[in-house]
Amino acid sequence: MSTDKEELELDEDFVAEDADDGDTPVEVAKTNLTKRRIIDNFLEERRLHKQLSEYDFDL
């Protein structure tokens, strides 16, 4: 290990571009998936309520 101080050149713009491009689509995908699951659960609940209301309990 050297005792001299060496300056390292970093390409900070490259790292910043990767961080910006990578985070946005993941958040949108998670949001869309969450919305889709909520809609699916709501539709399933409505379907089950409809089946229950149409069920003939006098079997």
pLDDT for the residue 27: 78
15 vs 17: CA distance, rounded Å: 5
> Domain map of the chain by residue range?
25-52
pLDDT of residue 49: 95
pLDDT of the chain, 59 residues: tens digit per residue? 555 566 666 665 555 554 455 556 667 888 999 999 999 999 999 999 999 999 887 76
Hey, what are 35's tokens?
């919305």
> In which residue are the tokens 């309990």 written?
57
| The predicted structure's pLDDT at residue 29 | 82
Give CA angle at 19 (33, 36), nearest 5°. Answer: 5
Q: Which stretches does DSSP call E strand in the chain?
A: none
